[in-house]
Amino acid sequence: MINIIVYTDGASRGNPGPASIGVAVYNDKGSVLKEYFETIGVTTNNDAEYQAVIFALKKMKILFGKKNIKNYDILIKSDSQLLVSQLTGKYKVKDSNIQKLFIEIWNLKIDYHKIDFKHIPREENKLADSLANQALDRDSSNSKLL
């Protein structure tokens, strides 16, 4: 199996407020394969965290190919304790909007060989955090030009 490590982060300024995601995909040797960031409209931080994982799972299918993705073991690292605890079954998902996102992730996981989720300290998620903030900063500066 080929191991891929994915760092994800969601950001929301205002909670709810303008929100974004950041995703960094690494190979098992620690090299960055791809970086992604984009704004996702107005939403909460928890919603953005989930949307970052959904985005990552969809992009990896494109990046590696839907047929090949079964050959990969994926480790998704996030600094959101709530997200990881819910996706690993430690916490129940009570929010109805998050339930929909949880189900979407569950359905996306079917195409993969193995996906694990790991909670990490914020300090270990600097690249994904930076990417999410970069998207918000970019949109903020573009709106000032209008």
Q: Measure the CA–CA gap between 15 and 31, rounded to whole angstroms.
A: 33
What residue ranges define each of the domains in the chain, with the CATH number in brackets? 2-145 (3.30.420.10)
Q: Quick check: bond before 18 cis, omega within 30?
A: no
Alpha helices in 33-125 (DSSP H): 45-64, 81-87, 96-109
What pLDDT score does 146 carry? 41
Using DSSP's 3-state secondary structure scheme, residue 40 falls into strand
pLDDT tens series, the chain, 146 aa: 779 999 999 999 998 999 999 999 999 899 999 999 999 999 999 999 999 999 999 999 999 998 999 999 999 999 999 999 999 999 999 999 999 999 999 999 999 999 999 999 999 999 999 999 999 998 776 655 44
What pLDDT score does 142 carry? 62
CB 53 within 8 A of CB 112: no
Q: Which residues pair with 2 in a beta bridge?
A: 72
What pLDDT score does 121 carry? 98
How many of the other CB atoms lie within 10 Å of CB of 136?
Answer: 19
Q: Which residues pair with 136 in a beta bridge?
A: none
Which amino acid is present at 76?
I
What pLDDT score does 128 carry? 98
What pLDDT score does 2 carry? 76
Its pTM stands at 0.94
Report the first-to-last Cα separation within the chain, whole angstroms. Answer: 49
